[in-house]
Amino acid sequence: MDSFLLTLLTSEFIVRLWSCSIHTHFRGWRGKIRYLCSPYPILDLTIILVAASILYYQSKAQILSIALRGVKIFQVFESRFRTWRLIVSVVWDQRLHLAITFYIALLILLLVSFLMHLVEKDVNDSFNTLPASMWWTLITMSTIGYGDAVPETTLGKFIACLCILVGVSIFALPAGILGTGLALKVEKQNRHKRLNKRRAPAAQLIQYYWRWLATDRPVSGITITIAGQCPVTYYMMNSRERHAYRFIVRLRYLSARTRFRCQLNQSHDLHQAIDRYASGQSTLADAVRVLAVELTTVRSDPIIVTTCPVPVCLMWTYVLSNQALTTKFYRLFTVYSTRKLTSNTPIIPVVRPK
């Protein structure tokens, strides 16, 4: 069985080495060397050599054969799964948040270890050294709890309870960070897939539209430049053929436009649009609340607060979908609120009810 698998793997490696010249980067003998220096062929060649060594040393050295079989576990990483790249990219993108989380966990670990060593060292031999306290703290924070060391004092038990609660909270943070990063990465990949699906219909639409416009040009105004001594046969279309060609190009243009519109409608995510609209609405509502608080703190005159319904006006502006005017109002009142008032003139016109 091992010989059959070795033969199959060797044949696959030879076929891959022969077919790698389909890429321009791996053509020629230099391209073959460049292909052999890439990670996956090196892994394939390593597995082939290890399998051959196992078959050779199987009858001579049983220990060496068992040791070489452990190297074949790297064959799992041979498959070109995009999952590995996705997970590595998520960890790399969230490296700052993960580093902050591990730094906080390390600080808590050192603090709790020192406190447990300070409290339990006189009554409990399991905490007489600081490394032993660190071992107990790490086991307790990870909620494993071997039971080899148990605090005896009341203060030590209280610190142990806090350590368990903090450990559960701290060790749950990386899972949430990686889950959020994975969701964002998958959403980004789906967005790129939708954009790539639009690219081909958009290119066809531009191409057929240009061809349709090119049929309107007069033949006498076209300049033809031919490089080299090649025989060329010119054929001038009459009016009927020209109209038929224009009709065909027009149909192709309309068909490409229809396909592009269908692809555009299919790739549009309605749920994302609703979520963005809701987030924008909540952001604007928060800005209106901040503006109302700033206006109440600018002057102590109750007329401005009671008779000038600025939040109501801004909400009506938002209802009328005039977001540009809302932004201008917000910037204007923010600038005026940061200035020092030197006169009794109100900032905004006061409208008193009749």
Matching residue, tokens 């749920």: 271
Q: How many domains does the chain have?
A: 3
Instruction: Say whether both 98 and 171 belong to one domain.
Output: yes
Residue 205 lies in a domain: no
Residue 176 lies in a domain: yes
Residue 198 lies in a domain: no
Residue 68 lies in a domain: yes
How buried is residue 282: exposed, middle or buried, by Cβ count under 10 Å (0-12/13-18/19+)? exposed
Instruction: Say whether both 50 and 120 belong to one domain.
Output: no
Q: What band does 342 get if pLDDT is binned at 50, 70 and 90?
A: very low
pLDDT, mean over the chain: 72
Q: How far apart are CA 332 and CA 176, in angstroms?
A: 40
Domain boundary residue, one of 21, 45, 80: 80
Instruction: Say whether both 71 and 97 belong to one domain.
Output: no
Percent of the chain whose predicted confidence (pLDDT) is above 90: 2
Instruction: Say whether both 76 and 164 belong to one domain.
Output: no
Q: What is the pLDDT of residue 170?
A: 84
Domain boundary residue, one of 158, 189, 220: 189
Residue 175 lies in a domain: yes
Give the model confidence (pLDDT) of 255-276 as tens digits.
888 888 887 776 555 566 666 6
**Structural domain for 145, as ranges:** 93-189
Domain boundary residue, one of 80, 112, 136: 80
CA distances from 340 to 298, 308, 337, 344 (A): 9, 21, 8, 12
Mean pLDDT value across residues 240-262: 84
Residue 86 lies in a domain: no
Instruction: Say which residues have a Cβ less than 8 Å from residue 31's Cβ, sequence separation at least 6.
Output: 20, 21, 23, 25
Give the model confidence (pLDDT) of 66-86 as tens digits.
555 555 555 555 555 567 778
- Residue 120: CATH number of its domain: 1.10.287.70
Instruction: Say whether both 99 and 60 belong to one domain.
Output: no
Residue 213 lies in a domain: no
Residue 301 lies in a domain: yes
